[in-house]
Structure 1
Amino acid sequence: MPRDGGAGAQGVDPEQLWLSSAEPRRGRKPAYSREAITAAAVALADAAGLEAVTMRKVAAQVGAGVMSLYSYAPDKETLLNLMVDHVSGELPTGHTLSGDWRADLKAIAHLQRALMLRHPWLPAALSSRRVPGPNTLDFLERVLAALRPSGLDGTAKLEIFAQLTAFVAGHVAHEIAQAAGSQSPDRVEAEARYLAAVAADGHHPELAEALSAPGRLLTPEATFTRFLNRLIDGLDTS
């Protein structure tokens, strides 16, 4: 029986999900579509997180009966796949590539970060295996085209895409958590005094040297860019 939980032992069937018709074949034409159901689920997740997405709430959003939704998404795992691919459609796939694959990868990562910040549930949704849908595959095609000048083989290109996406998702998840738990200026100053005292005790010379380095711009965008540059500039193409 369909459930709001996982997809069961067999998981999501990619052929049935992405290659079959998105609409039920029997009965009268419905007043809603898989696109509308997916968009309603995305809106719920954007507003209140993934835990707010249940088949009952999605049905209420589109004005449908709960059981009728199972013709489109038999379980929450299928719905999550639909949601991930739905928002992946926001990623541009027609922008001009520079031919500098490292620069293009960095631009792609910034696009991914912006998408995940617009949909804060997305990093968590990507933490488990998802079956790539048409929008995701279109974006992957663009990434592979960006990597063509690198001379890497196909497996390495796919690995780099997975590595890049995992990095962006992890970083954005940390950004979101930090923003949600923002500390008061007094607490930040207290932590700075604590670290200064530890660095001055003579037992942590490496920490003392690190803390004495010139300060850097600490905006989320600047921090992400520094981390991203280290990752992309350090990729081995041998």
Structure 2
Amino acid sequence: MTREDGAGAPGVDPERLWLRDAGPRKGRKPVYSREAITAAAVALADTEGLGAVTIRKVAARVGAGAMSLYSYAPDKETLLELMVDHVSGELPAGGTVTGDWRADLKAIGHLQRAHMLRHPWLPAALTAHRVPGPRTLAFLERALAALRPTGLDGAAKLEVFAQLTAFVAGHVAHELARTAASRSPDRLAAEARYLAAVAADGRHPELAEVLAAPGRPLAPEATFTRFLNRLVDGLDAD
């Protein structure tokens, strides 16, 4: 097991990560900053995907030796926490809360989708993300303020925000996969032929009826909005 892959890591200590000063405390002034190292990791993930992010590759981007970066990010798990919080700073923490919690929650969902599309590695990263940093907490504060009119207790508000975030992450992951598939017309044609054959086999009448019905607009934004509206409008705030 290596520090590089984080195998066997006991988990990130949020106090150590977020409440203490980053970087070495003794000796000469450090050449690098945690912010610069994290930004390099984000840029690498944006261009090459999350799987390409390693301490060694990030070190190469900032012109450092891998060992010198372990003071800032001892393993990939810590680096991932830093990356998620770093990009969370792009989300507007402020903004007007209208008092219409459903409208406010939908606005938050649209912000999250645009954010994840800018950073296609985020949906996968969020499945493992466990320790909200200061920038993430700032956006969470906005969501909790939007949910104040619901009268839900604290735990329920957190659950609603988690449910919304999970929905957006799952939808964006699917959206990105479909975009990639659209670059292969042969694959899409094969999928259409397969579904047509299944619908015609007589064993799936419900599916056949659905596939025979008029389709809906497939524009990504419109599709997301329909799904988001169903989710938020169906939430029970009692």
Determine if the TM-score, normalized by the shorter chain, exceeds 0.5. Answer: yes
Q: Which runs of 5+ in 1 are unaligned?
A: none
Q: For residue 29 of structure 2, what is the aligned residue in structure 1?
A: 29
Distance in 1 separating the partners of 2:71 and 2:188: 52
Paired-residue identity, %: 80
Contact between 1:7 and 1:78, CA under 8 Å: does it hold in 2? Answer: no
Asked if the contact 2:182–2:188 (Cα under 8 Å) also holds between the matched residues in 1, the reply is no
What amino acid is the match of 2:96? T
Offset of 1:98 from its aligned partner? 1.7
Alignment partners' CA distance in 1, 2:184 and 2:7: 42
User: C-alpha separation between the residues in 2 aligned to 1:190 and 1:173?
Assistant: 22
**RMSD, aligned CA:** 1.9
Distance 1:41 1:187 in 2: 33
CA-CA distance at 1:211 after TM superposition: 2.1
Provide the residue aligned with 1:10 in structure 2.
10
Segments of structure 2 that go 5 or more residues without pairing to the other structure are: none
Aligned-residue offset at 1:189: 4.7
Alignment check: 8 A CA contact 1:143 1:161 kept: yes
Please name the residue that 1:115 is paired with. Answer: 115
My pick for the range that moved more, 66-75 or 206-215, is 206-215
Q: Aligned partners of 2:166, 2:108: CA distance in 1, in Å? A: 13
Letter in 1 for 2:227: F
Amino acid aligned to 2:71? S
Change over 3 Å in CA distance of 1:205–1:80 after alignment to 2: same
User: How far has the Cα of 1:183 moved from its partner?
Assistant: 5.5
Partner of 1:69: 69
Preserved CA contact (<8 Å) 2:98 2:104? yes
Residue 159 of structure 2 corresponds to 159
Moved more, 64-73 or 194-203: 194-203
Q: What is the Cα deviation at residue 191 of structure 1?
A: 4.1
Query: What is the alpha-carbon distance in structure 2 between the residues aligned to residue 197 and residue 18 of structure 1?
Result: 55
Q: Deviations over 1:133-185 (max 9, x none)?
A: 00000000000000001111110000011111111111111111222222644
1:69-218 matched pairs, under 5 angstroms? 69-182=69-182, 184-185=184-185, 188-189=188-189, 191-218=191-218
TM-aligned CA deviation for residue 97 of structure 1: 1.8
Compared CA separation, residues 78 and 217, structure 1 to 2 (3 A): same
* Separation in 2, partners of 1:177, 1:206: 26
Greater mean deviation of Cα atoms: 37-46 or 22-31: 22-31
User: After alignment, is 6-15 or 101-110 more displaced?
Assistant: 6-15
Range 6-15 or range 119-128, more displaced: 6-15
Q: 1:43 to 1:206 in 2, by over 3 A?
A: same
Q: What is the CA–CA distance in structure 1 between the aligned matches of 2:130 and 2:52, rounded to whole Å? A: 20
Q: Is the 8 A contact 2:143 2:161 kept in 1?
A: yes
For 1:59, the equivalent position in structure 2 comes to 59
Checking the alignment, whether the CA contact within 8 Å between 2:181 and 2:187 is kept in structure 1 is no
Q: Quick one: distance in 2 between partners of 1:9 and 1:185?
A: 43
Give the TM-score taking structure 1 as reference length.
0.92
TM-score, with normalisation over the residues of structure 2? Answer: 0.92
Aligned partners of 1:101 and 1:150 also within 8 Å: yes
Tell me, yes or no, if the aligned pair for 1:91 and 1:139 is still in contact at 8 Å.
yes
Distance 2:78 2:7 in 1: 7
Give the deviation of 1:201 after TM superposition. 4.9
